[in-house]
Amino acid sequence: MTAPETRSWQTIRDEVLRRIHSREWRPGDLIPSEADLAAEFGCARATVNRALRELADTGLLERRRKAGTRVAPNPVRKATLSIPVTRLEIEARGAAYAHVLLGTDRATPPPHVQGVLRLPSGTRLLHIRALHMADGRPYAYEDRWVNPDAVPAILTADLDSISANEWLVANAPFSDGSFTFLAESADAELAKLLDCAEGTALIVIERTTWDGATPITAVRLHYRPGHRLQAGL
Amino acid sequence: MTAPETRSWQTIRDEVLRRIHSREWRPGDLIPSEADLAAEFGCARATVNRALRELADTGLLERRRKAGTRVAPNPVRKATLSIPVTRLEIEARGAAYAHVLLGTDRATPPPHVQGVLRLPSGTRLLHIRALHMADGRPYAYEDRWVNPDAVPAILTADLDSISANEWLVANAPFSDGSFTFLAESADAELAKLLDCAEGTALIVIERTTWDGATPITAVRLHYRPGHRLQAGL
DNA sequence: AAGTGGTCTAGACCACTCC
DNA sequence: GAGTGGTCTAGACCACTTA
DSSP symbols for chain A? --S-----HHHHHHHHHHHHHTTSS-TTPEEPPHHHHHHHHTS-HHHHHHHHHHHHHTTSEEEETTTEEEE-SSPPEEEEEEE--HHHHHHHTT--EEEEEEEEEEEPPPHHHHHHHT--TT--EEEEEEEEEETTEEEEEEEEEE-TTT-GGGGGS-TTTS-HHHHHHHH---SEEEEEEEEEE--HHHHHHHTS-TT-EEEEEEEEEEETTEEEEEEEEEEPTT--EEEB-
CA distance A129 to A112: 17
**pTM of the prediction?**
0.89
Q: Which amino acid is at A192?
A: K
Phi, psi of B50 (to 5 degrees): -60, -45
The model's confidence at residue A83, banded by pLDDT at 50, 70 and 90, is confident
The model's confidence at residue A233, banded by pLDDT at 50, 70 and 90, is confident
pLDDT in tens, B54-83: 999 999 999 999 999 999 988 888 888 888
Return the pLDDT at A82.
85
Q: How far is the CA of B44 from the C1' of D7 (A)?
A: 14
Mean pLDDT of chain B, nearest integer: 92
**Strands B68-71 and B30-31: what pairing?**
antiparallel
CA distance B180 to A15: 29
B142 vs A112, residue with greater confidence: B142
Q: Which residues of B touch A202 (CB under 8 A)?
A: 183, 201
Q: Which amino acid is at A116?
A: V
Residue B164, classed as helix, strand or coil, is: helix
pLDDT in tens, A59-71: 999 999 999 999 9
Q: Which residue has the least CA–C1' distance to nucleotide C9? A: B44
| Interchain contact, A183 vs B175, CB within 8 Å | no
Return the pLDDT at A75.
81
Return the pLDDT at A2.
34
Q: Is the pLDDT of residue B90 over 60?
A: yes
B63 CB less than 7 Å from any atom of strand D: yes
Return the pLDDT at B147.
95
Return the pLDDT at B61.
95
Q: Which residues contact A107 (CB under 8 A, 6 or more apart)?
A: A124, A125, A127
Q: Which residue has the least CA–C1' distance to nucleotide C15? A: B65
Q: Is the pLDDT of residue A205 over 90?
A: yes
Mean pLDDT of A201-211: 95
CA distance A37 to A9: 12
A158 vs A4, residue with greater confidence: A158
Mean pLDDT of A180-201: 97
* Dihedral, CA of residue B17, residue B20, residue B24 and residue B28, to nearest 10: 140
Give the end-to-end CA distance of chain A in Å, rounded to a whole number. 35
Return the pLDDT at A4.
41
Residue B100, classed as helix, strand or coil, is: strand
What distances in angstroms separate CA B155 from CA B104, B105, B125, B144, one per listed residue? 10, 10, 11, 14
Q: Which residues of A touch B88 (CB under 8 A)?
A: 74
Q: Which amino acid is at A205?
A: I
Q: Is the pLDDT of residue B5 over 70?
A: no
| B56 burial via Cβ count (<10 Å: 0-12, 13-18, 19+) | middle
Q: Which amino acid is at A146?
A: V
Q: How far is the CA of B65 from the C1' of C14 (A)?
A: 12
Of A199-213, B5-19, B96-110, the poorest mean pLDDT is in: B5-19
Q: Is the pLDDT of residue B1 over 80?
A: no
pLDDT in tens, B155-196: 999 999 999 999 998 888 888 888 999 999 999 999 999 999
**H or E segment at B190?**
helix B188-194
Residue B116, classed as helix, strand or coil, is: helix
Return the pLDDT at B6.
60
pLDDT in tens, A136-158: 999 999 999 999 999 999 999 99
Q: Is the pLDDT of residue A187 over 60?
A: yes
- Laid out side by side, the sheet with B30-31 consists of B30-31, B68-71, B61-64
Is the distance from CB of A12 to CB of A41 less than 8 angstroms? yes
Return the pLDDT at A1.
38
Between chain A and chain B, the number of residue pairs with CB atoms below 8 A apart is 133
Phi, psi of A122 (to 5 degrees): 100, -10
